[in-house]
Amino acid sequence: MAEALVGGAFLSAFLQVAFDRLASPKILNYFQERKLNVRLLRKLKITLLSINAVLDDAEEKQIRNQYVKDWVDELKDAVFDAEDLLDEIDTQVSQQELEAELTSGQVQHFSTSISSDSFNSINNEIESKIQEVLDHLEYLAEQKDVLGLKHGVSIAGKVSQRLPSTSLVDETKIYGRDSDKDAIMKLLLSDDVNGSRFSVTAILAMGGMGKTTLAQLVYNDERVKDHFEIQLWICVSETFDVIGITKTILEALSFSTNDSRDLNMLQLKLKDRLAGKKCLLVLDDVWNENPTSWEYLQLPFNNFGLGSKILVTTRIENVAKVMHSFSIHHLKQLQKEDGWKLFAKHAFDDRDSGAYPNLEAIGKKIVKKCKGLPLAIKALGGMLYTKSLAEEWDNILKSDIWDFSSDIIPALRLSYHYLPSHLKQCFAYCSIFPKDYVFGKGKLIKMWMALGFLQKSKNNKRMEEVGKEYFDDLVARSFFQVSDCWSSCFFMHDLMNDLANSISETFCYRLENNFIGDISKKTRHLSLSQNYFEDDFASYDPVSLASRLRTFIPIDKINRNISDNVASNLLSQLKYMRDLSLSGSDVTKLSDSIGNLKHLRYLNLSMTGIKKLPDSICKLYNLQTFKFKRCDEFLGELPKDMHKLVNLRYFDFSESYIKEVPYIGRLKHLQRLTNFKVGKRNGTDIKQLGQLSQLRGSLPILDLQNVIDPTNAMEAKLKEKEYLQELELQWSGDNEDSEKDRNVLEMLQPHKNLKELSVSNYGGTRFPDWIGDCSLLSNVVYLELRDCKYCFSLPPLGQLLSLKELKISNFDALVAIGPEFYFQGNAYGSFSNNNTTQPFRSLEILSFEDMKSWEEWCCSFEGENEAAGVVFPCLKELHIWNCSRLKGHLPRKLPSLKTLDINWVALGRLKSIPLI
């Protein structure tokens, strides 16, 4: 049973978006109401379907046929134009519905709001644009037959023509894999099979990293030969044919299969042949992600002798998971020194490279470009073996690495070839990033979302969840790698970057090093380095050629050469923009023309000198992400119609002063809000939060003193916001009504999923019961109570089972900390270490600061003995700052304490200090 791989043409995902739009009732109603020619939509759909049928064949043939490649590029351009047009129509309809809803509470027909002449003019324009796109697509559809493109040819059905691997290896040409070999050997020679007859070990890495070579090294080691009774090497490659693999194993055991295709008979023979034998089976280059296929294949292996092992090499992490791998060994790049040894072995053979100092210097630079990829190092070294002139070596150093060797391209392109179409477009887009660029997962997902790369989920997953799945899949397939230098960040290997660039070179472009190159009208995505442009729009002429740009992003954080003049011209010319960043630029104002960017989904104006946002920004109906961070010059007033950005999901204005966001409750899709300032006027009260059911991450709620009626705080519905992870509740100024503050805080009880809570400048004399209730704050790991100067006691925080860090500061009225700090309802007595009510059982960090009235800390309880009474069993750090009146005992039993930090405390007043 041959198992087909998942694959799909790059354009298939774009066409699916177009098909969804063409089938949308919104689009159809739009045409019918305006008496537009609906047949144009039908013809457009039929034409796209006819093209879609040959896309897989075209994607395969374009690698070898330049004419097919040119056709595919023209087709991409035409499909992008069609997508722009359909998106424009969809946006018009949605905007009209929004305006009608805001003005009258019900949707009106578009035709009722414009004059007859304007109506006819707009109709003619729309039909003209559709006809133009249709003519282009129909012409391209006619060419598919001339190019010999066939219907129904599946990418998944293509079988690689690569030579299969064997177990033989030349160990004299292997460097830098000693530690990897030792790690694999340790696993194979262990008799631990996790309760089964056999265990699976996987070697995981991107193409060309040397997985097969490492497996060969292990396979041929004498210790392995002595340890196993039977050794088998099977090159699986892309097609996971259970019957074929079973036959190959039998034949390797010198057992005739007589060309049988009866799986039952073959498996019975294999089961008998392997019975009780300790075996090592190597399955090289596995791509199968179907668990059912693996379950069928491994049935006879359950007859292995104890201690048997299966060693798998793969590029895909999910393959290792499907095979229930006991261990996954992630193979890394070669170190610099080992890379040079490998290169020198192939480029100089047995000659001393030191005798050729000019070649050696260039060769080391070439090795550096290969970024530790053994396949590239060997290929380039082998090619240069026949070249003895420094000029020839230098030409290769300075040329595109894709021209170096025909071995490199197929090895890496194969992984791309079998990607699903939706992942192909996501990966290809990343060619806008320069080499060594480090990117975050969240930011890239938002960019993919802005560009329409994320398909609608059948089970109603959020787009962000779909994007995370895409991203994780690309990581699992080694297209992205985790950065060693930046936490939670990723990068692409240089050769993966080259692969992305080779795929999308016509449509994605990087402007760097003052090089313009082949930017054209087909270019849709553009990134630029900070020093590329002068303060003059004339320097942007190459950019203005790409009039249909969808992405314009600076790569560097600071881009001072983008001025107001440059930004104004960009906004007026690039009306198809979906992803726009002016972050870090010298822009101080935005022109009203930004309101014409109907397609815009992602806008980053962070770290600019903008003082005021134009009212036209409220016309960006499709905007999903708006970043306005660290804009120190901003005056604080937002346009009054910001609530019309009904598709906004992320609004990040951290470190920028914004007075308030009126009617923010209308932004139903909002998930990230930097903070919410409670206002007194209509549309700014705390009730607005109640309508934002999708809020997640962190949420600071500021100026809580402006809550007029405490019952309004309940309408914020914090208890229902299950996605919030962090919550900050902050009052400002002098608190005049202690009881009101307590009632407000009582109504702001969060959902039990909350993990971090901060309360500051609270004016109540005591805290509501929900703070300290282990059933209501069961997941809180961090808690800070700050500047609560009227509180004379602390809540029973010892009952919070998950609490790991607690900070308490500026409690001016607090004199003593007693049993109420540890136990609910002030009830206390003896307890044991195994008692679930043991206070602060998870706390690791405890801080007290600026407690000017604090005198006593009760740390002991009745019935305490050597086996009981440990209040802080996990406490690692204890910090006490500026608590000058504290006296008596500190906790005496702190078995986990590592750091004791006491400053500005009269140590003479303390009777006991815990030993470290």
pLDDT digits (tens, 9 = 90+) for 684-721: 999 999 999 999 999 999 999 999 999 999 999 999 99
Report d(CA 815, CA 824) in Å as an integer: 20
The whole-number average pLDDT for the span 895-900 is 92
DSSP secondary structure letters along 703-723: -GGG-SSHHHHHTT-GGG-TT
User: Is the separation of the CB atoms in 500 and 430 below 8 Å?
Assistant: yes
| Distances, alpha carbon 395 to alpha carbons 359, 372, 390, 398, in Å | 12, 21, 9, 5
Q: Which residues contact 541 (CB under 8 A, 6 or more apart)?
A: none
Asked if pLDDT for residue 827 goes beyond 60, the answer is no
What mean pLDDT do residues 299-309 have?
91
484-492: average pLDDT: 85
Q: Over the stretch 725-764, which tens digit does the pLDDT of each residue have? A: 999 999 998 777 899 999 999 999 999 999 999 999 999 9
Q: Are 760 and 729 in contact (CB under 8 A)?
A: yes
Cβ-based neighbour number of residue 252 at 10 Å: 14
Predicted local confidence at residue 759, as pLDDT: 98
Query: Each residue of 145-196: pLDDT tens digit?
Result: 899 998 877 655 454 556 788 999 989 889 999 999 999 999 999 887 666 7
Confidence of residue 2 (pLDDT cuts 50, 70, 90): very low
Q: Which residue has the tokens 């929900």?
A: 770
Q: What is the three-class DSSP state of 643?
A: helix
H-run or E-run covering 285: strand 279-286
d(CA 696, CA 670): 9
pLDDT score at 405: 57
pLDDT band, very low/low/confident/very high, at 457 (cuts 50, 70, 90): confident
Closest by CA to 236, choosing from 225, 226, 244, 228, is 244
| Residue-level pLDDT at 1 | 37
Rounded average pLDDT over 113-141:
79
Q: What percent of the chain has pLDDT over 90?
A: 58
Least confident of 133-147, 262-276, 298-312, 535-549: 535-549
Q: Which residue stretches of 477-627 are H helix?
A: 494-504, 541-545, 564-573
Say which residue the tokens 């609910």 belong to: 824
The conformation of residue 585, written as its DSSP 8-state character, comes to B
Given a contact cutoff of 8 angstroms between Cβ atoms, the answer to whether 543 and 523 are in contact is: no
DSSP 8-state secondary structure symbol assigned to residue 781? -
Using 50, 70 and 90 to split pLDDT, how confident is the model at 102? confident
Q: How many helical (H) and strand (E) elements, i.e. helices and strands, does the chain have?
A: 26, 29
875 pLDDT higher than 80:
yes
| 659-697: b (≥16 Cβ within 10 Å) or e | ebbbbbbbbebbbbbbbbbbbeeebbbbbbbbbbeebbe
DSSP 567-581: HHHHHHH-TT-SEEE
Which range (63-67, 390-394, 693-697, 911-915) has the least confidence?
911-915
The pLDDT tens digits of the residues spanning 335-369 come to 999 999 999 999 998 788 888 899 999 999 999 98
Q: Which residues are paired to 329 by β-bridges?
A: 203
pLDDT of amino acid 109: 44
Average pLDDT over residues 64-69: 90
| Number of neighbours of residue 721 by Cβ within 10 angstroms | 21
What 3 state SS string does 192-223 have?
CCCCCCEEEEEEECCCCCCHHHHHHHHHCCHH
- How far is Cα 605 from Cα 590, in angstroms, rounded to an integer? 10
50-59, 81-90, 801-810 — most confident range: 801-810
Please state, rounded to an integer, the average pLDDT across all residues of the chain. Answer: 87
Contact criterion met (CB below 8 Å) for 279 and 305: yes
Query: 825 — alpha (psi -120 to 50), left (phi > 0) or beta?
Result: left
pLDDT over threshold 60, residue 403: no
CA distance 193 to 267: 22
Please enumerate, as own/partner, the contacts of 70-74 that have beta carbons within 8 Å and a separation of 24 or more. Answer: 71/140, 71/143, 71/144, 71/147, 72/11, 73/506, 73/507, 73/522, 74/140
Distance, CA of 773 to CA of 233 (rounded, Å): 60
> What's the pTM?
0.88
Greater model confidence, 639 or 35: 639
Radius of gyration of the chain (CA): 33
What whole-number distance in Å separates Cα of residue 766 and Cα of residue 116? 68
pLDDT tops 50 at residue 833? no
**Cβ–Cβ contacts within 10 Å for residue 770, how many?**
17
217, 169 in Cβ contact below 8 A? yes
Distances (CA, A) of 511 to 299, 518, 522, 679: 55, 10, 15, 45
Choose the weakest-confidence range: 379-383, 533-537, 620-624. Answer: 533-537
Alpha-carbon distance of 609 to 619, in angstroms, equals 22
Give me the mean pLDDT over the 639-660 stretch: 94
Question: Is 633 within 8 Å of 609 (Cβ atoms)?
Answer: yes
For residue 337, give the 3-state DSSP assignment. helix
- Quick: pLDDT tens for 531-550: 555 544 445 555 667 889 99
* Contacts by residues 585-588 (CB-CB < 8 Å, ≥ 24 positions apart): 585/554, 585/559, 585/560, 585/561, 586/535, 586/559, 586/560, 586/561, 586/562, 587/562, 587/563, 588/564, 588/633
CA 708/CA 714 separation, integer angstroms: 12
In this prediction, residue 369 carries a pLDDT of: 86
